[in-house]
């Protein structure tokens, strides 16, 4: 797990918007989108259209991530807490 992935998971214990993460972490949009994409590919985060509407299947975070919400999965929380 990269330092960026660890820091991002630290923010995803609760559902968070892209804009919130951008402001909290102070990263560029590109770095945030790439890190979200990486964590999603590893099964460590969920993507949501609304707080109760999880997106499944082929989710294109790189082009649509700015309108999504994010939450760590059990796998992501366990990996985050193991470090």
The C-alpha angle with vertex 33 and arms to 29 and 39, in degrees rounded to 5, equals 145
**pTM value?**
0.95
Mean pLDDT of the chain: 96
Percent of residues, the chain, with pLDDT higher than 90: 94
Task: Tell me the per-residue pLDDT of 13-71, one tens digit each, with 9 for 90 and over.
Answer: 999 999 999 999 999 999 999 999 999 999 999 999 999 999 998 899 999 999 999 99
Distance separating alpha carbons of residues 27 and 25, to the nearest angstrom? 5
Instruction: State phi, psi for 44 to the nearest 5 degrees.
Output: -95, -10
């Amino acid at each position: 797990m990269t330092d960026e992935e660890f820091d991002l998971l630290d923010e995803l214990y609760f559902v968070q918007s892209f804009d919130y993460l951008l402001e909290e972490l102070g990263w560029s949009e590109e770095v945030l989108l790439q890190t979200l994409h990486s964590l999603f590919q590893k099964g460590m985060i969920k993507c949501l259209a609304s707080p109760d509407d999880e997106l499944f299947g082929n989710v294109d975070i790189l082009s649509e991530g700015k309108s999504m919400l994010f939450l760590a999965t059990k796998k992501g929380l366990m990996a985050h807490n193991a470090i």
